[in-house]
Structure 1
Amino acid sequence: MFRKMIKHLVNNAGLKVLSILLSVVLWMVVVKLADPDMTKTFSVSVDILNKDVVAEMGKVPDVVGETDIAVFYITGPRSYVEKMNGDDFNVTADLSQLDLRQDGDTKLVPIEISARKYDRYITINQRTVNLQITLEDLSEQKFVITAETTGTPAEGCAIGDVEVTPNLLNISGPESVVSRISRVSATINVDGVSDDVSDNVVPVLYDEDNKPITSDLLEMNQSAVTIRANILGTKSVPIRCQVSGTPAEGYEYRGLEYAPDSVLIKGEAEVLNSIGAINIPEDVINIDGAKEESEVSIDIKPYLAEAGVSLVDDTANQIAVRVLIEQKETKVFNIPVEKIQVTGLNRDYELSYSGSSVPVSVRALKEYMDTLEIGSISAALDVTDLEPGSHTIELTITLPGEQFEQTETVRVQITIEDKNAEPETEQDETQENAGGSEDEEDNGNGNDRNGNNSDSADRSTRDSN
């Protein structure tokens, strides 16, 4: 009986199939219990394909919002799902599938997501289905790359020429983005360096507010450029300047004041060693006819360039120069006639003056005039070859230094008489009186004038004293 039952079960095909199905179900239940399903969410950037299709139309796609970030989740056995990350998926939007017949400015491009592994065991469910874009005019511009540095070189060193190769960058992209680009720069770090340095860097785009511009829609013909910085020596040198011309009469040039009076320059060592000062040509400052102090601002860059050097601080190129002009004082000194040194007088002659003193006008700066005394002024009179009679002769005045100047010529009236001459007879005097009474009257008037001159000289002496 038992054998008959066993034989019936073994030879029953339906039971065999049922047993297999039950085994599979049991295996699946066991697997599910051991490796249950789980869900995991991802946010992955969309890779936009075939942009050239839009570029051929003179357009460029501009993503609306954050629709270029695809959000999706996967479901599958824990053992597979836990091992997957965003890099395990291909997330693309193919612009060749763009339908330009869509209404409105915003166009939809389907987003396709596929797993690079375990695709047989997981299910992908998209939350972001389409990439939303607008088509904007394509713009292309060229920019000169500006070289910039950060940091401070080693002590005693300065930054020389900084060059970028290549220095021209072609940028294409949406007009709204390209139009915002104000400048492009490449930066190299020179902190603590004492020798020339170079580096490969990525150019950075900036807007008018000096804020960086980044966009995946921009394309550049150079992803990186080479920047080189030349490191030079430094030296502090004084400023030297001369003037041309002469101040107005009665004024004196006292010198120059500089601010700053020295500058820090940079250059090659052999050039720096040959420079002792920065000399500004005298024709830069002309004081012809000057009557007062003045200030002038001088740009020293041209003179540095001639010497083969430049400023460490490029903004310190203006030197303020003050030209010192001072007015002189004028004072009259009455020199007593007995102080006049006479030379060339014949031994047989004697000399007399028409007055008791001679006025001498002297001009000098106040600081010198305050120290000038009448005793330091000498006067000399040369009467060589002069015959007896009345004479008006120029007096030679010697002042105690070049800081003093005589403002006008001094002339003195003298009378020379022969000590050995015979006295005139009464007859001669009578004839002279008879023949020239009118002349005698005129001579009397002349004596009055001489007397007045003498009084005037006496008054000058009193005034001076």
Structure 2
Amino acid sequence: FNSGNTSVEEQSLYMATVNICELSHKEVELRCELTGNVAEGYSAGKVQLSQTSIAVRGQEEEIAKVSYAKVIFDIGKNTKETVTADLDYQFYDEDGQVLNLSGIHAEAGQIQATLPVYVTKELKLTVDFKEAPGAQLADMIWAIKPESVVVSGDASVLNDMDSIVLDSFDLLSVTTESTSHSYAILVPDGCENLSGVTRATLEIGYPDKTVADVTTHNIRVENASASRNVELLTQELSVRIFGTAAEMEGITGEDVAVVADLSDYAVASGTYMIPAQVRVGDGKTIGVSGTYQVQVRIPEF
């Protein structure tokens, strides 16, 4: 036999027998057996499985033996945080015996199991205080009410937490003996505030604040052009300072330095009012109120 480029030199006939069996299908419950334990002081929630049933197919007499499927979830010893694992499952009959039936086909891969582990902790309420010269936390009387709250939540979130920061607070804003500020208590996402208190109050005061005006002649410029003689027209300046009575005692104008930076006036000429920085003593304990400037005359090149 020839047909174009194809030729058949020998032919044979074969017979085949095909058995066609009807496959059955059903859904079986997926169960989870836990092993291991949660550490003392912690609690576990409900196991979460990626699916709650498994579809199986096979011959009717085979899948009829399948009562349920099960994964074994080992959470380890003295677990202190949420555990997640990918697990294999097995099929069981109604007597709880493992079935090893090759004719059963399951429509699922590994099962992801998660056991949320919770902890209850008392978290201290704090404020991020911003200190400044003349406004040191050590010089103030303050309290946060309530001091703490009891929070329950995922151990992986709370294990490393000891406090809740309510907000930042600039101590320069404290000008009286007593003031109060209210803040919302925000617990981490997914956690529960068991105390039931939703707001905290910061009470803070500056019981020993002393304010004084001092006059200084200690005025200078810096970063001036070396080729020009800048004339400082402001010869004295009155500066308002503050601090505790002990820190302020003995402070005079000689302890106050006023510096005007001419970096931005390198090519300028004429008379200008230049912003000045004021520093008292070591610059750490005494604060300065207000802003200041000095007048200078810059000659032409």
Q: Select the structure of larger CA radius of gyration.
A: 1
Task: Tell me, yes or no, whether TM beats 0.5.
Answer: no
- Category of TM-score, reference length = shorter chain: 0.3 to 0.5
TM-score, normalised to structure 2, is 0.37
Q: Which has the higher helix share?
A: 1
Task: Name the structure, 1 or 2, with higher relative contact order (CA <8 Å, separation 6+).
Answer: 2
